[in-house]
Structure formats: C-alpha cells, structure tokens
Amino acid sequence: MAPKRKRTSPATSYQVFLSFRGPDTRQGFTDVLYHALVDAGIRVFRDNEEIRKGEYIGDEILRAIEDSRIFVPIFSSTYASSKWCLIELAKMVESKEGSSGSKRILPIFYDVSVDDVKLKTELYTKALSIHREKFSTDIVHQWEEALREAGKIKGWELKDKGHAEFAKAFVRKVSVELKVNKQYVTRSLVERIDEQDALISLLHLKSSHDVRLVWIHGMGGIGKTTLAKAVFNRLCDHFGGCCFLLDVLETTKRKGIDHLQRQLLQDLGVKSADISDENDGIQIISTQLQDRKVLVVLDDVHDQEQIGKLAGEAGWFGKGSRIIITSRNKNVPVFEGGRVEILEAESMKFEESLLLFSRHAFGKENPPEDFRGLSEKVVRITGGLPLSLEVVGSQLRTSYEHRDRVHWNHIIGSLQKIPARKVQDRLKISYDALDCEAKKIFLDIACFFINEEKTKAIYMWQSCGFKPYLAVKELVDASLIKLADDKKFSMHDQLRDLGRKIVCDERLKDLGKPCSRIWMHEDALKVVREEEGTNLYLKNLVVLDLSESSISETWTGWRHIRMCKELKVLDLKRCNHLTKMPEVAQSWRD
C-alpha cells in the first residue's frame, strides 16, 4: 500500500486580512473585493464583526492577523464607530511594526477622506468621544494612534470608480505585493511531510529575534534540493523577501559569485546594478538587508568561501531571517552572530520509494500485482535514492506497457552489477538507452542550458537539423531533464556531472580530437580569441552567449562576428564593461 500522507495545515493560513464595517460595505463593495481576491487565488480572511460577542478579540482573529502579510482596512463612514474595527486596526498596526518590513497595510478610503482617518475632521473624532465613555483612556489613545498611522499611508480612494473596476486594479496591486518565485517541483513528488516538518522545526519560526541557519547535508541524489524547495514554497509567504539560489557551486564556476550576489539582491528587491565585483556584492548585501526579514536558500554549496560572500554573518539580515543551505559536505560552516542547526538528509523509506517508483514506472500509486516483485527488487537495489528511482522507473515504463518482463530483468541485472555508491554508472544505463539525437541534446543541456530558457537551445538544435521538441520530450519522459513551466531546463547535478564526464571521456579516448563542448566562459573566450585546437566554425555559429563577461567595445574578437552568417542569438546581458554596441554587432542586429 502507498504510505498515508500526514496532513498538516500550511504554514500561513491567510495572506490578506480584510477589516471593514459590515453595515457600510459588506453586501456591496467588500463582497465584490473579497471574491475578486479569492478568484485570483489569494487566501483572504473576512470576518463578521456584527455577530461577535464579549469584550475581547478572538484567537481566530489574532491568528488571521498574525498569518497575513497584507492588511486592508476599508475606511467607511461608521468604521470608527465599531470597537471591533478599531481593535483590528490597532492589532494590524502593531503586527506591521514588528514584522521587519514583511507586512504591509493597504488602506482603502471608501466614502471618507484621508483627513477623516487622520482625525482632522469630526467624523471619526465624534465616534472616539463616544468610545471614551466605555473604554479606558489608554485604549482609546491606542485606537487614535492606529488611525493616524493608517492615515499616513498612501492608500486607495474609491471616489467615482465602479466596484468591479476598482477591485480588478486592487487585486493586481496585491498580487504584485505577494509575488514570490516559488520553486518548481515535479508533479510526481512524494511529499515527505515528516521530513519537511523536521526542517521547519529546526528553523524555529516563532523565534523572531534571532537569525538562524539550517545546514542540510547528504549524498547527491538523496533529495536535499527537493526538500529545500518544498519547505521554501510552504514558508515564503511568511517573509518580507525570499530568494532560492540553485546550484551555487556550478553557477560560481561558470558565472562567478557576483552573478549570485546580483540575483540574491534582485530577488530581495534591492538594486544590484552597482556590483562590479564580489567585494561590492558583500558590501551591499551586508548593509542593505539588515532591516529585512528574509528567507534565503543556498543550494549545493561546496565551501565556507561561497557562504561568506552570500550570507557571511547573521548581522547581514534582519531579525527573524532564516537561511537554508544544502551541501554534500558534512563540515558545518561558521555563521557569526547566528544559530546553526544541522539536518542530515535521509534516504526514502521503502514504502515512499515504492510509491515514487510506481508513479514513474506505471503512472499510478502502486505497482500491478504481476510486477510487484520486480518493482520491489528495483527499490531495494536503488537504496531509496529519489533520483535513481525516477530515472530507472521512467526507463522501465515503456517495457511495462508492452509487458516486457525480459527487459525488466535485464535492467535489474545491470543495476545489480554496479556498486550502490556508483550512482552515475547506474544513471548511465538510461543514457545509453537514448537514440543518438537525444543523447547529443542531453549532453548539450548538461553543458550549456541548465536553468536556461529553451529558446536559445531550440534555435541551435534546429540549425543542426535536429527535431528538438521530440528529443526534449524523450528526455523529460526518461526523467533525465525537467522543463519548469515549459520554459527552463533543469537537471539534477548528478546527471549534469554524468553528461560532462561523458564529454570529457570522449576526448580522452582520442587525444587528438577537439572537445565537442566548451562550457566554461574563460575557455570559450580563449577559443574565440585564438581559434586553436578546436572544431569551432564561426560561420556556422548560431548562439553566442557572452553574458556577464568582461568584454568591451574594444575587444578584438568582434571582428570574428562578421563570419557568423547563421548567428541568431547574441547574448550580451550584464556585460558591465560594454558601454556601447560595437559597429559590427549593430550591423548584425539590423
């Protein structure tokens, strides 16, 4: 049987809290706004203040305010006449002030002016005078301060706008405020809720006065990145800014640590154009995020040096911030001023492994009875490694559809001959089963196109006479690559390393043969400059990616661009030393 999933409530129940006076707006404007927000997929708390009893705000309201990131007080003519509205407003202001910038108040002035809310007219001051007869001076003063504070915030005036028109524009604003780039996870994911909850427990979110780092370590392919993505997606609404940096080790090698510094700052809403080198990046990160409560994930980190340039000290971030790092390295980093927790990623349990394998091999939760024994053999051989289960399961799916038990036994026999620690050798069985065109495209993605949009690659493959859409589908079906949102290629680092090893091994077999693929910027620039020892024919070049390089308009390599008759893509993003487009590039563009 498939393992039962433990159901837990999400870390954040609500994103938006509506505070309004029922008799004024419930049946009209507020109802329209509420449904517009909900229809946009936003989780909204809408309370009925008219049916409350007692003198104190309930736990449900307090939890909703604590959970929400955006507060929307709808100021109407009798808003200040309701003690419940004023209690909510005071709690919202208090929650915002203690959120380190992660929460916002977006006031709506329904049929009142900003001056009414700032208590510069008699409309709300009369209502507060009545409250003074029933409540203490301190309480009424707190309400007055909350109103004045809300009045200082640039809000939205309804004026003569129609309710539906206003709601549409307001929903767009809220959606932008809530926007977080959640991480892609495969639909066949087995939610290991217990493991996610263990990580969340170590993050200790209730402790809002410190900065914590959780170090997740374990062998490649065990599911560290998937765990970090799942928790990131659950918690990102909890913070004022979120950033997930994938493949830190690989990106540092290819593009430099300053590229990651820019991405970190951009994702957290800080201008990063001034970064000219990694020292600039350290300076900006360490000074511009000190008052921000953020969630940062650094994936596949290799050493302390990388951490030191991205999240070197707790003091770089605001109180309540959390840093998650995944690594194959057991050595725990120094995190000055903060607390470090350690989580060792574990292999999947047998039942979880069988579920994941079944989803890929059979497209359902459990193996058919006539293939159960063979399925359990595969699960035991792969040792609970999610990557191996996905790839092997996908490879066997076609054989199952033809009820080809002979092929199943052949693959199982091949897996048994390879030691468990040699994960790449086991994965190569699936690579060897690809047709020639799919193999070439797999190697291209491994070397060039991980975390890149597919457009450049499709141009290149079509110019080679390939049928890329069919080959990409074959690779996706084989679980050798993933296509996030049908746009960006992603690939597990074990598969990436396998692809690059195959390319290097091809060259070692024939030392006189030039390398078929060059994926490091420095090596590629050297080839373009020197044209030595390579099979690079510039007249056939289709895609030239020079992004984030140090080239300038005086670079001697520009003369070679004239030879690129088939060039369709020239990528010059973030070439900071390039102050104007060279004439040859302008003529090519025209």
Active-site annotation, residues: 88
| Cβ–Cβ under 8 Å, residues 73 and 150 | yes
Residue 14: helix, strand or coil by DSSP? coil
Element (H, E) at 571: strand 569-571
Query: Locate tokens 């360490």: which residue?
Result: 286
The conformation of residue 336, written as its DSSP 8-state character, comes to: B
Closest CA to 43 of 7, 16, 83: 16
What percent helix, strand, coil does the chain show, rounded to 5?
50, 10, 40
Element (H, E) at 150: helix 137-152
For residue 404, the tally of other CB atoms under 10 A from its CB is: 13
Pairs from 46-52 (Cβ < 8 Å, separation ≥ 24): 46/18, 47/18, 47/19, 47/88, 48/22, 49/21, 49/22, 49/82, 49/84, 49/85, 49/88, 50/22, 50/23, 52/84
Query: Locate tokens 């605001």: which residue?
Result: 318
CA 474 vs. chain centroid, Å, equals 26
The angle subtended at Cα 393 by Cα 387 and Cα 399, nearest 5°, is: 155
Rg over CA atoms, the chain: 29
| CA 111/CA 72 separation, integer angstroms | 15
Sign of the CA dihedral running 467, 470, 473, 478: negative
Burial class (CB in 10 A: 0-12, 13-18, 19+), 394: buried
Burial class (CB in 10 A: 0-12, 13-18, 19+), 438: buried
| CA 167/CA 175 separation, integer angstroms | 12
CA 86 vs. chain centroid, Å, equals 37
Element (H, E) at 60: helix 59-67
For residue 51, the tally of other CB atoms under 10 A from its CB is: 7
| Cβ–Cβ under 8 Å, residues 462 and 441 | no
Sign of the CA dihedral running 400, 404, 407, 408: positive
Element (H, E) at 212: strand 212-217
| CA 36/CA 34 separation, integer angstroms | 5
